[in-house]
Structure 1
Amino acid sequence: MKRERLDSSSLASVGYDPAAHVLEVEFRNGGVYQYLDVPDGEYEEFITAPSKGRYLNTEIKPNHPSRKLSPPRRPR
C-alpha cells in the first residue's frame, strides 16, 4: 500500500485502501500496523484531525482490529 509522509511527532506515514477499508500507519519508531474496517468517513476525519496521533489513539485503536506488519527498529 502506498503511504504518504505525515508531519506528526509519532506517525511517519499513512496509507488507506478504500476498497478494503484498511488504514496503514507507519510509526516514527519503524513499526507498521494496519487497522481494519475503517470506513471512508473515519479515514477523512483522521487525516484532517489537528493531532493524528491523538485521533489514532482515541478513535481508531480502541474501535478497530489491527495487525502488525513489521516490528519497530531497534536503536543502535
Structure 2
Amino acid sequence: MKTLTFYDIAYEVDERYNDYAVFKLPSSNVDFCGHLPDEDKDTQNFFVQFKNGGTYLYRDIPNETVIEASKAESIGKFIRAEISGKYPSVKLEHKILTEVSVQNGN
C-alpha cells in the first residue's frame, strides 16, 4: 500500500488512487487534493478530501484549472468558485487518504 507523508504525518492511500499526484495546502476545510491526467483528453480527474471526511471525485477538469488549484491562496474558495457544480462529480463513500496509526511499544 502506498504511503505519503505531509507535515511528519503518514497517510495510507486507497490503492485505487495510487497513481494520483496528491497535494496538501493550508486550509481550515480541505485536507487533501489529488489529480490524474486523462490520457485521451486535455483534462484530469481531480479529488478533494475535506477535513470532515467528505470526499468528492470530479472528472474532466481542464489541466489549467488543476494547476491553478495547486497554487490557490485559498483552496476551499477556489474549489467552490471554479470546480464545484461546474464539472461531473460523485461523492465517495470513503476517504482516499487515511492517517496511519502509530503504535508505540507501551
Aligned counterparts, 1:1-76, within 5 A:
1=17, 2=20, 3-19=22-38, 21-70=44-93
Q: Report SS of the residue matched to 2:61.
A: coil
Matched letter for residue 26 of structure 1: Q
Q: Which runs of 4+ in 1 moved over 6 A?
A: none
Percent identical pairs in the alignment equals 33
Q: Shift of residue 19 of structure 1? A: 2.2
How far apart are residue 71 of structure 1 and its match? Answer: 5.8
Structural RMSD (CA): 1.8
- Within 1, Cα distance between the matches of 2:24 and 2:65? 19
Unpaired stretches in structure 2, ≥5 consecutive residues: 1-16, 96-106
Whole-Å separation in 2 of the counterparts to 1:5 and 1:46: 11
Question: Which protein has the larger Cα radius of gyration, Structure 1 or Structure 2?
Answer: 2
Is this contact kept in 2: 1:13–1:27, CA < 8 A? yes
State the 1:63 CA deviation.
Answer: 1.1
Q: Judge conservation of contact 1:25–1:32 (CA < 8 Å) in 2.
A: yes
Structure 1 unpaired stretches of 5+: none
